[in-house]
Amino acid sequence: MSMQTEFLIWDEQATDQLSKYIRSGEVVAFPTETVYGLGADATNPEAVKKIFLAKGRPSDNPLIVHVASIEQIESYVTEISPAARRLIQAFMPGPLTVVLPSNGKISDQVTAGLDTVGVRIPDHPAAQELIQKANVPIAAPSANLSGKPSPTSAIHVFQDLNGKIKAILDGGTTGVGLESTVVDCTGEKPEIIRPGGVTQMEIEEVLGYPVELATEDASEVQPKSPGMKYTHYQPDVPLILIDGDQEFFQAQIDEYRSNGEKVGVLASEELATILNADLIHICGTVENLSTVAGQLYQSLRVFKKTEVDIILTEVFPTEGIGQAIMNRLNKAANQIIKQEK
């Protein structure tokens, strides 16, 4: 599939144009506060199929539906539990998705045939404007080729999907930098099935009780959420997680280089300044992990096959947003090398 992809800078005229494309069954990319989304009318099966085709995404991987209000959420689900309502009121608009029982109005292509649907209200003015003007729920996974790092700028979308989609709306660099947290609210107690921009602690504070993070035996089940079953977020070259101190990290770099390989390093400011490698990219600071979250996908895209043969990256703390960072890095990594204690 190849077409001329329009590249539009966000303004009122641009969202007018994109809303017409959405209503006519086309697929467009637009910014949210998390990453760029690849959107189509969630009630139009043929439009939704174009998302899977453009991304090369498996069809049993459900999509998240983006709406403009809680009233719109209510129109696509059979019920909103008290816990789900508290989470919606606390974190929406924002980087949270809740999985609720679907009433069947959302296309089966979006829900992957499940009787549940993930919904969220994005906290980006361009996204809100687009949803309101299109006046339909918008199914939107991340606007990248399936398995690759998610896009945090319009140019990332262009690199992956130019010629495959109708239009790209450039609204600048996204803020959070990682996808939304997904909470399954269809069981007796809510369960986090994908960590993201809202932390486990923040969710527990609102609900007043502990919330489990789902374990993934993804080969056996159909996922209720994106990011659960398949390989994701992988850069152009192999990524190795290094779990150890700085001396151990440098020893791994030296070993790969002694075998003639060019080594790229993705690390925090704290670690990067004391390592020696062929290419070192700083992705934020451990003192403020939101800086790492915001730069992670951009950083993974920095490394090209022409410059390095392998990327080594550190293991970050899993407190707060660190849980989501490590969730993404564990999925992106080819292996993890641990220092013996």
Tell me, letter by letter, the H, E, C secondary structure of 138-168: EECCECCCCCCCCCCCHHHHHHHHCCCCCEE
| CA 227/CA 229 separation, integer angstroms | 6
Question: Residue 233 region, left (φ>0) first, then alpha (ψ -120 to 50), else beta?
Answer: left
Average pLDDT over residues 254-261: 97
Tokens of 55: 């991304």
Shared domain check, 165 and 24? yes
Question: Residue 157's pLDDT band (boundaries 50, 70, 90)?
Answer: very high
Let me know if residue 315 belongs to a domain.
yes
| CA 151/CA 143 separation, integer angstroms | 6
- pLDDT > 80? residue 121: yes
For the stretch 190-238, pLDDT in tens is 999 999 999 999 999 999 999 999 886 544 456 666 555 556 788 889 9
| CATH (domain of 31) | 3.90.870.10
For the stretch 41-51, pLDDT in tens is 999 999 999 99
Binding residues: 34, 57, 61, 66, 116, 120, 140, 142, 150, 180, 194, 233
| CA 30/CA 172 separation, integer angstroms | 10
Average pLDDT over residues 63-77: 97
Q: What is the pTM of this model?
A: 0.93
Let me know if residue 230 belongs to a domain.
no
Tokens of 232: 């994701």
- Residues 6 or more apart whose CB falls under 8 angstroms from that of 206 comprise 86, 87, 90, 91
Let me know if residue 228 belongs to a domain.
no
Let me know if residue 219 belongs to a domain.
no
For the stretch 265-285, pLDDT in tens is 999 999 999 999 999 999 999
CB 177, CB 294: distance < 8 Å = yes
For the stretch 126-150, pLDDT in tens is 999 999 999 999 999 999 999 899 9
Tell me, letter by letter, the H, E, C secondary structure of 210-245: CCEECCCCCCCCCCCCCCCCCCCCCCCCCEEEEECC
Q: What are phi and psi of 206, to 5 degrees?
A: -70, -40
- pLDDT > 70? residue 90: yes
Let me know if residue 310 belongs to a domain.
yes
For the stretch 312-322, pLDDT in tens is 999 999 999 99
Let me know if residue 10 belongs to a domain.
yes
Domain housing 57: 6-213
Shared domain check, 38 and 126? yes
Shared domain check, 262 and 119? no
Shared domain check, 284 and 140? no
Shared domain check, 206 and 64? yes
- pLDDT > 70? residue 18: yes
Shared domain check, 35 and 119? yes
Shared domain check, 279 and 205? no
Binding residues for L-threonine: 34, 66, 120, 140, 142, 180
Binding residues for ATP: 57, 61, 116, 150, 194, 233
Tokens of 204: 């527990």
Let me know if residue 227 belongs to a domain.
no
Computed over every residue of the chain, the mean pLDDT equals 94
Shared domain check, 202 and 254? no
Q: What are phi and psi of 5, to 5 degrees?
A: -90, 120
pLDDT score recorded for residue 216? 66
CB 37, CB 200: distance < 8 Å = no
- pLDDT > 80? residue 24: yes
Amino acid at 186: T
User: How many CA atoms within 13 Å lie on the side-chain side of 114?
Assistant: 22
Shared domain check, 249 and 209? no
Shared domain check, 37 and 171? yes
Q: Please count the structural domains in the chain.
A: 2
Percent over 90 (pLDDT), the chain: 89
Let me know if residue 43 belongs to a domain.
yes
pLDDT score recorded for residue 219? 47
Shared domain check, 244 and 207? no
| CATH (domain of 306) | 3.40.50.11030
For the stretch 281-296, pLDDT in tens is 999 999 999 999 999 9
| CA 52/CA 161 separation, integer angstroms | 12
Tell me, letter by letter, the H, E, C secondary structure of the chain: CCCCCEEEECCHHHHHHHHHHHHCCCCEEEECCCCEEEEEECCCHHHHHHHHHHHCCCCCCCCEEECCCHHHHHCCECCCCHHHHHHHHHHCCCCEEEEEEECCCCCHHHHCCCCEEEEECCCCHHHHHHHHHHCCCEECCECCCCCCCCCCCHHHHHHHHCCCCCEEEECCCCCCCCCCEEEECCCCCCEEEECCCCCHHHHHHHHCCCCEECCCCCCCCCCCCCCCCCCCCCCCCCEEEEECCHHHHHHHHHHHHHCCCCEEEEECHHHHCCCCCCEEEECCECCEHHHHHHHHHHHHHHCCCCCCCEEEEECCCCCCCHHHHHHHHHHHCCEEEECCC
Shared domain check, 334 and 247? yes
How long, in residues, is the chain? 341
